């Protein structure tokens, strides 16, 4: 009742050796029914629980997966995390969380976590490692799965953001729009190559439709509803304003809607807006947007990692998740 029972106490109680108790603990088939029963009874009676630290030290595996992700204030992280958690939990792995806010923190955590004594595997969410780090993982044989991040040498589950930019723009084109602007974050931000990809998709769809790209139709701003409002304002007060605006995020789409409202521009009659992400607010404001499977991405990332662990084989798995347009009420044919 006081000090915790150890494997020795159980052995004594069941009148067997600790090795046998260990066998029962690990479901070894090489134990007779009767012995197994006695041991289990002793375990129950003593309320025995194996000491995880001892187990880890002895067995050389931690039964722990480290999950590293930035901020986790964005709704998308939560959903991804849930997907990861559920899969790990089913497979009886502990999930340790490391949140990263700066590149230095990222480097520091990744360096520490590259040691196999820390975790059996790593999941990096929205956090592409650099080449040196990837190399390190390979050298230390640390299994890694990237979720919403990419590195050529590692397993990943991602969305094709070029495709995302493409389908959003194409959707607008098919609606009849020709004057389509793109409002985004700055294209080359440290953690987010996706920003550039979406832009490329936008350009590609335009080109395919034979619509000339107009530089004044592409504006960048740091992320946020207010800055987006400002940028949208300049877009909408252009001499020849766009009839549709595609934004790199729902937050920016909402800022764009604010600007349209201020200027008395009716959505979707006079302006179509397409966002990206399908955050919760998107539903509330009836925003047409590009949706990616968040929960699934995390879940599949965890599955990939576990399969890596099981096979002991580090051949990278690559999984591209589908993206789709969710049509709501912020888009219509131009002038319609």
For DNA, which is the closer residue by CB, 60 or 103?
Answer: 60
Q: Does 116 bind DNA (CB under 7 A)?
A: no
For DNA, which is the closer residue by CB, 52 or 322?
Answer: 52
Taking CB under 7 A as the criterion, the residue among 13, 20, 249, 299 binding DNA is 20
Taking CB under 8 A as the criterion, the residue among 19, 54, 90, 320 binding a second copy is 54
Q: Does 93 bind DNA (CB under 7 A)?
A: no
Least Cβ distance, residue 48 to DNA (angstroms): 7
Count of C-beta atoms within a 10 Å radius of residue 266: 11
Q: Does 142 bind DNA (CB under 7 A)?
A: no
Q: Which residues make beta-bridge pairs with 182?
A: 218, 246
Q: Does 101 bind DNA (CB under 7 A)?
A: no
Q: Does 15 bind DNA (CB under 7 A)?
A: yes
Give the CA distances from residue 262 to residues 204, 237, 266, in Å, rounded to whole numbers and listed in that order.
32, 12, 10
Taking CB under 7 A as the criterion, the residue among 37, 41, 54, 336 binding DNA is 54
For a second copy, which is the closer residue by CB, 66 or 168?
Answer: 66
CA dihedral angle for residue 245, residue 251, residue 255, residue 256, rounded to 10 degrees: 10
Taking CB under 7 A as the criterion, the residue among 7, 69, 172, 232 binding DNA is 7
Which token pair is 198?
């979406």
> What contacts 24, CB < 8 A, 6 or more positions away?
31, 35, 36, 39, 40, 43
Least Cβ distance, residue 283 to a second copy (angstroms): 10
End-to-end CA distance of the chain: 76
Give the CA distances from residue 309 to residues 91, 155, 224, 319, 331, in Å, rounded to whole numbers and listed in that order.
12, 12, 39, 17, 46
DSSP string over 99-132: EE-SHHHHHHHHHHHTSTTT-SEEEEES----HH
The site partner of 103 among DNA, a second copy, none (C-beta below 5 to 8 Å per kind) is none
Q: Where are the beta strands (DSSP E) in 252-323?
A: 272-277, 288-291, 318-321
Q: Is 191 helix (H, G, I), strand (E, B) or coil?
A: coil
Please tell me whether the peptide bond between 268 and the residue prior to it is cis, using omega within 30 degrees of 0.
yes
The span of 47-55, 123-131, 173-181, 191-199 binding DNA (CB under 7 A) equals 47-55
The site partner of 269 among a second copy, DNA, none (C-beta below 5 to 8 Å per kind) is none
Q: Does 254 bind a second copy (CB under 8 A)?
A: yes
Asked if 255 contacts 263 with a C-beta cutoff of 8 angstroms, the reply is: no
For a second copy, which is the closer residue by CB, 206 or 228?
Answer: 228
**Going edge to edge, which strands form the sheet with 288-291?**
218-220, 180-184, 244-247, 272-277, 288-291, 324-326
Least Cβ distance, residue 326 to a second copy (angstroms): 18
Least Cβ distance, residue 121 to DNA (angstroms): 17
Q: Does 324 bind a second copy (CB under 8 A)?
A: no
Q: Does 296 bind a second copy (CB under 8 A)?
A: no
Asked if 275 contacts 250 with a C-beta cutoff of 8 angstroms, the reply is: yes
Q: Does 333 bind a second copy (CB under 8 A)?
A: no
| CB crowding 294-323: b at 16 or more within 10 Å, else e | bebbbbbbbbbbbebbeeeebebbebebeb
Least Cβ distance, residue 122 to a second copy (angstroms): 14
Q: Does 58 bind DNA (CB under 7 A)?
A: yes
Taking CB under 7 A as the criterion, the residue among 1, 2, 27, 34 binding DNA is 34
Binding site for a second copy (CB under 8 A): 1, 4, 49, 51-54, 56-57, 62, 64, 72-73, 75, 78-79, 81-82, 85-86, 89, 94-99, 112, 115-118, 139, 254, 280-281, 284-285
Binding site for DNA (CB under 7 A): 4, 6-8, 15-23, 25-26, 29-32, 34-36, 48-51, 54-55, 57-60, 117
């Amino acid at each position: 009742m006081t000090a915790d029972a150890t494997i020795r106490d159980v052995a004594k109680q069941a009148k067997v050796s600790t090795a046998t108790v260990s066998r029962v603990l690990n479901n070894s088939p090489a134990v007779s029914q009767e012995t197994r029963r006695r041991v289990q009874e002793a375990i129950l009676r003593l309320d025995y629980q194996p000491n995880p630290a001892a187990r880890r030290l002895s067995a050389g595996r931690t039964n722990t997966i480290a999950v590293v992700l930035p901020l986790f204030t964005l709704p998308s992280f939560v959903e991804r995390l849930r997907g990861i958690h559920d899969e790990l939990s089913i497979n009886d792995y502990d999930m340790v969380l490391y949140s990263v806010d700066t590149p230095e923190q990222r480097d520091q955590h990744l360096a520490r976590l590259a040691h196999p004594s820390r975790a059996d595997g790593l999941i990096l969410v929205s956090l592409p490692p650099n080449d040196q780090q990837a190399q390190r993982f390979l050298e230390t044989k640390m299994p890694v799965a990237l979720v919403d991040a990419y590195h050529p040498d590692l397993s990943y589950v991602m969305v094709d953001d070029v495709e995302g930019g493409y389908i959003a723009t194409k959707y607008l084109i098919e609606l009849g729009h020709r004057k389509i602007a793109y409002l985004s974050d700055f294209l080359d931000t440290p953690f987010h190559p996706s920003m550039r990809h979406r832009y490329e998709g936008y350009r590609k769809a335009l080109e395919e439709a034979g619509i000339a790209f107009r530089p004044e139709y592409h504006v960048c701003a740091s992320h946020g509803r207010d800055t987006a409002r400002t940028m949208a304002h300049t877009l909408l007060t252009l001499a020849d304003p766009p009839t549709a605006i595609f934004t790199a995020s729902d937050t920016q789409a909402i800022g764009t809607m604010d600007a349209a409202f201020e200027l008395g521009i009716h959505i979707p009659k006079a302006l179509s807006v397409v966002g990206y992400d399908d955050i919760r607010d998107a539903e509330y404001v009836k925003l047409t947007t590009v949706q990616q499977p968040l929960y699934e991405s995390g879940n599949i990332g965890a599955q990939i990692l576990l399969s890596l662990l099981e096979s002991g084989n580090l051949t990278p798995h690559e999984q591209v998740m589908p993206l789709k347009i969710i049509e709501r009420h912020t888009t219509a044919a131009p002038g319609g």
